[in-house]
A and B are shown apart, each in its own frame.
Chain A
Amino acid sequence: MCLIVTLICLANDASFIWRSMILYLLVTCIAEFSGIYVERNGHLNNWVYNIFIVFEAGFTNLMFAHLFNKYHKSRIVIIGVILFVTLFIYQLVTDGLFKYNNLTFTAMSVIYVIYCLYYYLLLIRDEHYIDLKYSSAFWWVTGTLLFYFGITACNLFGNQLRAIKIYQHLSHFIFAGINIILYGFWSYSFICRRWLTKRSEIL
């Protein structure tokens, strides 16, 4: 659904970074369907997500670098990239490709939450007023924050959550919920982006 919105809204976007979200969401869809397919065939799908995490980190860092660039703070993203690469290689060497890369994913989630909060800080400090209701960057960051904040909570209470079953594992519902929140917010962000692009064309 979000991919369709992205295709409609961002296909002709002036920014390469925003346009690259189409590719990212396409990769996400491929990864999700591949994960389901592998699981249904009775195999562990951890390796699919271990590969996908590279794309996820790449695109998310790229977008944050683009957003921070407005405030000349894009270099901060390098710290996250270095941390991600170090942890990813470390876990790949120690645990291999078929064991879920939990440490890297948790660390990455925390970093993205920090990025989001830092973006808000920059936004607050910015002397210029931005109408947040129509700010694509703000809604993209908000979706990201809610997603990774939720994911971090789920990772911290992972074992306990998996123990709670209401028809299915509680964690399953929470993951579904935060995914809907993420793609909902991102879709709205892309719609805002489309409006902005139109306005700038008129101007």
Chain B
Amino acid sequence: MQKMANEEVRNIVIVATAIFLIAPAFILAYIFIYNRRKKANIEEKEKMKLTFDTEIIKTHLEVQEQTMQTIGADLHDNIGQLLSLTSLTLNSIELDNHTKAQQKIEAAIDLTVRSIKEMRQLGKLLQGDQLVVMGLSEAIRHQITWVEKSGKYQVSYVEDGEIPAANNPDKDLIIFRILQEILNNIIKHAAATQINIKLEYLNKQLQLEIVDNGIGFNAENLPFAKRGMGLQNIHKRAAIIGGEAAIKSTEGEGARATIFIPYP
């Protein structure tokens, strides 16, 4: 009986000692697993940062490209025409007819002043990235001015809530590019006449809403080729700065794009 009791004690002691020695091994195993996860997490973060940086550079280039396109179109359609007309007017001056010459000179002066005004506006636009540096609202206003200049669209712009003074240039750039993409889509495909833009800041969230009265579309029925990079890019870019995009449209009833971005 005593021998059995001793045997039992001995077994308990051996098991307990073994447990005390094995327990740290489990702790070590946990730390190694946790550390591996930490490594994977850090790598994932670095990858995301790289994607973000790449996207920012890409967006910069796209904004610049769009600016250059606008400048090119404006030089050709607007300033070019004004200068041609100025040249024609000056060429047609007959110095013998003082009254007519005076009128033509005045017309030429007027055309030159308009050209200078257009050139100044182009100069501002040439600053490209500066547009966003001036602030998101200012950049949006500039964009609207250029859209309105075509004379095909009536654009309204409303700002609601106080946008923080400490802005986030990267986010501003992405939001501005999203706006450009949406406006491009409207110009290319929507056949709209009215565009309403609303920028709202509420509960540390920026909400950009763009509504048009165009022909609309059914996103689900869009052929793959037409789904294009535009819509995908809008969703992708919103996600990259921690936001989301909601695009709703019904055929014949225009479209509504709303972007929600945590800000700044």
- Residue positions of A touching B, CB distance < 8 A: 117, 120, 123-124, 129-130, 132, 142, 145-146, 149-150, 152-154, 156-157, 160-161, 163-164, 170, 174, 178
Contact = CB atoms under 8 A, between A and B. Distances in A.
Given A124-B31, A160-B9, A164-B13, A149 B39 contact: no
B31 A132 contact: yes
B31 A149 contact: no
Nearest to A145: B24
Contact of B20 (A120, A142, A150, A170): A150
B166 interface: no
B27 A153 contact: no
Interface string B1-27: 000000001100110110011011001
A196 to B, nearest CB: 17
Contacts, number: 51
Majority-rule SS of A interface residues:
helix
Given A120-B27, A145-B24, A149-B23, A129 B39 contact: yes
B27 A117 contact: yes
Given A145-B24, A149-B24, A164-B10, A154 B17 contact: yes
10 contacts: A117-B27, A120-B31, A123-B31, A123-B35, A124-B35, A132-B35, A152-B20, A156-B20, A163-B10, A164-B10
Given A145-B27, A152-B20, A174-B17, 10 more contacts: A120-B27, A120-B31, A123-B35, A129-B39, A129-B42, A130-B35, A132-B31, A142-B28, A161-B17, A164-B10
B146 interface: no
A132 B17 contact: no
A150 B16 CA distance: 11
B157 interface: no
A161 B35 contact: no
B118 to A, nearest CB: 54
A170 B20 CA distance: 15
Contact of B34 (A124, A156, A160, A178): A124
Nearest to A132: B35
Given A123-B31, A124-B31, A164-B10, A157 B23 contact: no
A130 B20 CA distance: 27
Contacts of B9: 160
Nearest to B38: A129
A23 B153 CA distance: 85
Nearest to A174: B17
Nearest to B18: A153
Nearest to B19: A153
B117 to A, nearest CB: 55
A160 B23 CA distance: 20
Contacts of A154: 17
Contacts of A124: 31, 34-35, 38
Contacts of B38: 124, 129
Nearest to A159: B13
A153 B35 contact: no
B16 A157 contact: yes
Nearest to A177: B21
A123 B35 CA distance: 9
A123 B20 CA distance: 23
A153 B20 contact: yes
Contact of B16 (A123, A149, A153): A153
A174 B21 CA distance: 10
A149 B23 CA distance: 9
Contacts of A178: 21
